[in-house]
């Protein structure tokens, strides 16, 4: 029985490695990815393209609304991750790559929670409204202080750059594993089944 399972899973691959991520974890991942990859270019556009007029107001409201959504989802995702650990990385992966993967994942978790809070504080201090998809106004969490607001917006922008860099590293690593190493790490998040180690 164990021998048959070992062959089916790919020699040294454990059942946990083969199983990949749960449907809940995959949903959290792809919803978060869609939101972040939507709001990052919105943020870049609204602060770098002048004279947007009413379009600029719309972009600001969308950016803030998505930020609030990301904050809630990231917090729920972190709670879920703590109760449902990720499947182990392939045993043949070098130790430095495993450390880099863990650092990238936890760095993204932290930034995806901290970044919306930074934006919320900066917007609150500026006293700009945070209209959640035009449904209701999210209350401010900081006293009005325009100088402090400008400083916090700079921190917010810097954190956004770090998020973009970590996302690039994350995507590059996933593609490297899928197309160069040809293992099933990426498929664990796509389909929930990591398969049998390397692909043919």
d(CA 23, CA 121): 33
Per the structure, how many domains does the chain have? Answer: 1
Output DSSP code: residue 195.
Answer: -
Q: What is the CATH number of the domain that holds 81?
A: 1.20.950.20
194 φ, ψ (degrees, to nearest 5): -80, -10
pLDDT in tens, 4-60: 434 344 444 445 445 679 999 999 999 999 999 999 999 999 989 999 999 999 999
**196 in any annotated domain:** no
Range of the domain at 10: 2-85+93-190
Residue 141 lies in a domain: yes
In a domain, 67, yes or no: yes
Q: Is residue 54 one of the residues assigned to a domain?
A: yes
pLDDT in tens, 57-75: 999 999 999 999 999 999 9
The reply to whether 198 falls in a domain is: no
Per DSSP, the three-state class of 136 is strand
| Phi, psi (degrees; rounded to nearest 5) at 40 | -60, -50
- What's this model's pTM, rounded to 2 decimal places? 0.86
Structure token digits, residue 94: 């070098």
Asked, for residue 200, whether it belongs to a domain, the answer is no
Q: Answer yes or no: is 153 within a domain.
A: yes
Pick the closest to residue 174 from 119, 97, 116 (CA basis).
97
């Amino acid at each position: 029985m164990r021998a048959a399972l070992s062959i089916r899973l790919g020699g040294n691959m454990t059942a946990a490695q083969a199983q990949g991520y749960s449907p809940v974890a995959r949903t959290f991942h792809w919803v978060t990815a869609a939101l972040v990859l939507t709001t990052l270019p919105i943020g870049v556009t609204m602060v770098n393209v002048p004279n947007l007029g009413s379009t600029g107001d719309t972009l600001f409201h969308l950016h803030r609304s998505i930020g609030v959504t990301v904050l809630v989802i990231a917090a729920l995702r972190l709670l879920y991750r703590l109760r449902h650990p990720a499947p182990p990385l392939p045993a043949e992966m070098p130790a430095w790559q495993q450390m880099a993967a863990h650092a990238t994942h936890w760095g993204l978790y932290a930034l995806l929670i901290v970044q919306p809070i930074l934006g919320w504080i900066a917007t609150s201090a500026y006293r700009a409204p945070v209209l959640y998809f035009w449904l209701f106004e999210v209350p401010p969490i900081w006293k009005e202080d325009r100088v402090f607001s400008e400083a916090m917006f700079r921190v917010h922008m810097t954190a956004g750059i770090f998020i973009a860099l970590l996302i690039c590293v994350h995507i590059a690593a996933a593609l490297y594993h899928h197309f160069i190493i040809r293992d099933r790490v990426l498929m664990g998040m796509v389909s929930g089944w990591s398969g049998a180690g390397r692909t043919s």
